[in-house]
Structure 1
């Protein structure tokens, strides 16, 4: 075991020159390798099931979001509400090889400022389920790092303070910006899965419809569009021109049992950024939440959907609400 003392605790205790790159170099530089972008519930058995189980028990939603000939990607997410009813999401990502061994994991920090450390709280039970002792070491290293950081009054240079360690299973890197990155020592996936054609189209084919709905879009290169008249937004994660995930915000106003803000105001031709096969069921699920003012986290027609609802004052059957909607999941480590 390598022990870090003094200033070294903030800059790492391995021989690494810096934090691992996100994503690791070259993992997406390949042609399609049996890509499958149809999401399914995270496994309940094997290593994948063991990783997801403690997160699920803590209220997270977990799914296998894509796979290919070399590996599969798992994605877990939980949304916590603050005193203003705003949802602060936290995610965890795992990449497993075709033999169901963990090759890589990432626990980014939540955007919310929490008193207790959410990264260690998520990572420790998940990793302990497959690697004995790994979770205790994560809690120790992250706790020591955070305490050391709080007591320091100055910082050397422009580097983000970080720490790193290794055990028999993996190399670990942690900092307040990227969170915890875990790279297995004896397992790797050469070609990471990148598929999304099952549920999404190309951004270039969707721009005109977004413009018709009142969005300010300048693509390329802009990947985030705004709709000033409704405080709406639309942003995507891309691989080339292919949409990998999309997020947008839209309101709902139900009066006398009728929707006074139809989806067609913002998407006059429908959700054309989605593949035709999934467009109708995904739209129906969105409209169900907009009618009821409720959120959702699950899989619809093989597509991951997250709907966070902020509901205003309701009178009788009337309601006003705003929804942050995510369809699909970005590529691992992006």
Structure 2
């Protein structure tokens, strides 16, 4: 039943499978606040959220509810794949549930890995099978066949990105190597998608001067990526207007004789002021713990999503050198970067 479209061919209805899926769907975030709640929550023990994410969590993924509002709730899952030369390749999955706990939308973005690894299908098939038992087998076939067929033809015969799409009784599925797999459930629309982040994050305009004081080269607005060349550091954010939604930054650590030789204050002289006062201290303490030990972390700290990918080396006398890639919060569903 595989249907790969490179031209103007369409299936039934008005769906054009040769077009990329809308990310995010039109109007998803064009609404006033609707009881927005940006305090991260663990996945409940029962219900659709638990069923969807259970196969991923058993496989080592971290999953949580990132935010919610009056119409639905957004789930965010992540795993760090470790590659050659101590590299980390994160993989993410996003789910949107409606107010009645039904899956409305899901996204399995591609990874930097070779498509032959079939990582998108490996994540999506067991998750969706948990709620739609007949969906997983076809999903694996569609994606794996597409990956095999287009292994050496990433641009398509007419320089367009090759794409495939199909539909079953549960949802519409679109897949390509640029966007990964986007799943839109049948008859389960969420009109107002959750967008809150004020529990844990401040605004970029209020944080940029402190970043500059720490040696970051920031030209905001409009720049959302800042670099600190003297320490190979970076700081980048996703925004909704001026409000920070998620922040990623890289920072080193060097422990000698039990003492930190690269204090956090060298790069953030006024502390992590892009975080609210409510969460700043516990999140900072969690980061400092990983900097002392050179260990990774993924979890919820003071209602805030925190992931830390640490690469470390132990030196003589127990001294430690490490570099940590840190993410605070999750981007809005269906937005880049993931």
CA distance in 1, matches of 2:152, 2:316: 51
Moved more, 43-52 or 283-292: 43-52
Q: What TM-score do you get using the length of structure 1 for normalisation?
A: 0.96
Deviations 1:302-327 (A, max 9, x none): 00000000102422321000000000
The answer for the alignment partner of 1:215 in structure 2 is 216
The answer for the alignment partner of 1:262 in structure 2 is 263
Aligned residues: 331
**Is 1:192 equivalent to 2:193 in the alignment?**
yes
**Is 1:16 equivalent to 2:23 in the alignment?**
no
CA apart distance, 1:329: 0.3
CA apart distance, 1:159: 2.0
Alignment of 1:226-265 (within 5 A): 226-265=227-266
Deviations 1:175-214 (A, max 9, x none): 0110000000110100000000000000000000000000
- Asked whether the equivalents of residues 289 and 296 of structure 1 are also in contact (C-alpha less than 8 Å), the reply is yes
The answer for the alignment partner of 2:109 in structure 1 is 108
Given the superposition, is the C-alpha separation of residues 267 and 140 from structure 1 closer, same or farther in structure 2, using an over 3 Å criterion? same
CA distance in 2, matches of 1:28, 1:122: 27
CA distance in 2, matches of 1:267, 1:67: 31
Which consecutive residues of structure 1, in runs of 5 or more, have no partner in the other structure? none
Given the superposition, is the C-alpha separation of residues 256 and 129 from structure 1 closer, same or farther in structure 2, using an over 3 Å criterion? same
CA apart distance, 1:12: 7.3
- Asked whether the equivalents of residues 103 and 185 of structure 2 are also in contact (C-alpha less than 8 Å), the reply is yes
Alignment of 1:1-334 (within 5 A): 4=3, 8=5, 14=11, 16-17=15-16, 18-113=19-114, 115-150=116-151, 155-334=156-335
CA distance in 2, matches of 1:330, 1:225: 18
- Asked whether the equivalents of residues 155 and 162 of structure 2 are also in contact (C-alpha less than 8 Å), the reply is no
1:316 match: secondary structure: helix
Given the superposition, is the C-alpha separation of residues 139 and 31 from structure 1 closer, same or farther in structure 2, using an over 3 Å criterion? same
Given the superposition, is the C-alpha separation of residues 192 and 153 from structure 1 closer, same or farther in structure 2, using an over 3 Å criterion? closer
Given the superposition, is the C-alpha separation of residues 308 and 12 from structure 1 closer, same or farther in structure 2, using an over 3 Å criterion? farther
2:57 match: secondary structure: helix
CA distance in 2, matches of 1:307, 1:200: 17
Moved more, 191-200 or 105-114: 105-114
CA distance in 2, matches of 1:160, 1:152: 9
- Asked whether the equivalents of residues 44 and 53 of structure 1 are also in contact (C-alpha less than 8 Å), the reply is no
CA distance in 2, matches of 1:323, 1:3: 42
CA distance in 1, matches of 2:229, 2:160: 37
CA distance in 2, matches of 1:54, 1:12: 36
2:91 match: secondary structure: strand
Deviations 1:221-272 (A, max 9, x none): 0000000000000000000000000000000000011100000000000000
- Asked whether the equivalents of residues 296 and 306 of structure 1 are also in contact (C-alpha less than 8 Å), the reply is yes
Moved more, 280-289 or 43-52: 43-52
1:269 match: secondary structure: coil
- Asked whether the equivalents of residues 12 and 165 of structure 1 are also in contact (C-alpha less than 8 Å), the reply is no
1:155 match: secondary structure: coil
- Asked whether the equivalents of residues 115 and 147 of structure 2 are also in contact (C-alpha less than 8 Å), the reply is no
- Asked whether the equivalents of residues 89 and 111 of structure 2 are also in contact (C-alpha less than 8 Å), the reply is yes
Deviations 1:112-169 (A, max 9, x none): 3364200000000000000121111110100111122136598333321100000000
Given the superposition, is the C-alpha separation of residues 254 and 281 from structure 1 closer, same or farther in structure 2, using an over 3 Å criterion? same
2:151 match: secondary structure: helix
- Asked whether the equivalents of residues 65 and 74 of structure 2 are also in contact (C-alpha less than 8 Å), the reply is yes
